[in-house]
Amino acid sequence: MTLGLVPYLFMDGNAREAISFYEQVLGARTEFVQAFEAMPANPDFPLPEEAKGLIAHAMLSIGESTLMLSDSFPGNPPQQGNQVTLCIMSKDKERSRTVFEALQQGGQVQMPLQETFFSPAYGTLTDKFGVTFHISTEAPQP
């Protein structure tokens, strides 16, 4: 079996919204979604009412990549930070622009999409869920 690395995002009660958003702007396909309430009951650890509709685990396919996410359990909110960022690679400058413009809705741009020495279209932003993305277009090969 090949070893793989899959980013996993912990959301603060808005995983369903994030899934829908990533389906829309990234063309993600939802492969699997399970709410906490669908998990087997454990009498020693009863599920709080506020957890029942939250997402315990979801897996999305985006192009040739996989993204996993879930809501954090009530009382254990995620810590936002920039230790992990996601880089979306494209061979098409216009596709990069479309993705960048869609992800910036409700978010904050750190570096506008622009030509750099390593990419014909590169930029960074944090989306409305606090996830930082690098959008990078592959440079044409000579």
Question: What are the pLDDT digits (tens) for 44-89?
Answer: 888 888 998 999 999 999 999 999 999 988 888 777 766 688 999 9
For the record, the structure tokens of 85 come out as 């960022």
23 shares its domain with 43: yes
* Domain limits for position 36: 1-76
Question: What is the helix (H) or strand (E) element at residue 21, kind and residue range?
Answer: helix 15-26
89 shares its domain with 125: yes
Instruction: Pick the last residue of a domain from 76, 98, 119.
Output: 76
Instruction: Pick the last residue of a domain from 76, 97, 125.
Output: 76
DSSP, collapsed to helix, strand or coil, labels residue 9 as strand
CATH number at residue 22: 3.30.720.100
54 shares its domain with 69: yes
Q: With 0.95 as the threshold, say if the pTM is over it.
A: no
Instruction: Tell me the pLDDT tens digit for each residue of 3-33.
Output: 577 899 989 999 999 999 999 999 999 999 9
Total of domains in the chain: 2
69 shares its domain with 91: no
Cα 21–Cα 22–Cα 26 angle in degrees, nearest 5: 125
68 shares its domain with 123: no
44 shares its domain with 2: yes
Read off the pLDDT band of 120 (50, 70, 90).
very high
